[in-house]
Amino acid sequence: MSDTLTVSLPRAIGKELDVLVKRTGKTRSEVVREAVRRQLSLERFRALRERLVPKAQVRGLYTDEDVFKLVS
């Protein structure tokens, strides 16, 4: 089952979307679904990072390089 969502886009974004649709052979819906999936993934990552950064800092991990050194 799926939900239907109506989205209003500024004309310039709609035109860019149409160019992308033509170039990729995907439908507008496919492109928008992929974009929403990516955005949801980014938000989940940000939320997880926000929760974990304080715990990492307690262990002396302040940068990505600190983490890479630990796991390398």
For 23-56, what is each residue's pLDDT tens digit?
A: 999 999 999 999 999 999 999 999 999 999 999 9
Looking at the whole model, is its pTM more than 0.85? no
- Residue 19: pLDDT band with limits 50, 70, 90: very high
Q: Which residues contact 10 (CB under 8 A, 6 or more apart)?
A: none
Please give the pLDDT value at position 1: 85
What are the sequence ranges of the domains in the chain?
11-71
- Residue 9: pLDDT band with limits 50, 70, 90: very high
CB 56 within 8 Å of CB 67: yes
With 90 as the cut, is the pLDDT of residue 10 above it?
yes
> Measured between alpha carbons, how far is 37 from 10 in angstroms, rounded to an integer?
21
